[in-house]
Amino acid sequence: MAADESRDRPNAVGDGVPAASEQLHLPGPTYLPVIVALGVTLAVVGVVISFVITAIGLLIMAVAIARWVRETRADIAELPLEH
């Protein structure tokens, strides 16, 4: 009798679940996080070795972060307003 009752009840994960109504947005692949890490590494190593290496590392890091932010803003601008 218990088996008959379980067939009559709607399944929590079964056919009664509506389809997803929102699309998932993932950002495009980018190499810029690796470039930022390289800049940070050079800046930290430069603290020990030379101020010039620190300056180069900070410059690389700043340029990579600026490009990463610009790329992300362009990616977000392409999304529909209701997203």
- In the chain, the number of structural domains is 1
Q: What is the mean pLDDT of residues 5-26?
A: 62
- What pLDDT is stored for residue 20 in this prediction? 67
Q: CA-CA distances (angstroms) from residue 36 to 20, 28, 61, 63?
A: 36, 17, 5, 9
Q: Is residue 40 part of a domain?
A: yes
- Give the 3-state secondary structure of residue 57: helix
Q: Is residue 15 part of a domain?
A: no
Asked whether the beta carbons of 71 and 30 are under 8 A apart, the reply is yes
Of residues 64 and 83, more confidence is placed in 64
pTM confidence score: 0.67
Q: Is residue 58 part of a domain?
A: yes
User: How far, in whole angstroms, is CA 65 from its chain's centroid?
Assistant: 14
Q: How high is the mean pLDDT of the chain?
A: 82
Q: Is residue 68 part of a domain?
A: yes
| Residue range of the domain that includes 71 | 30-78
Q: Is residue 83 part of a domain?
A: no
Q: What whole-number percentage of the chain has pLDDT above 70?
A: 70
Instruction: Name the least confident of 5-14, 45-54, 65-74.
Output: 5-14
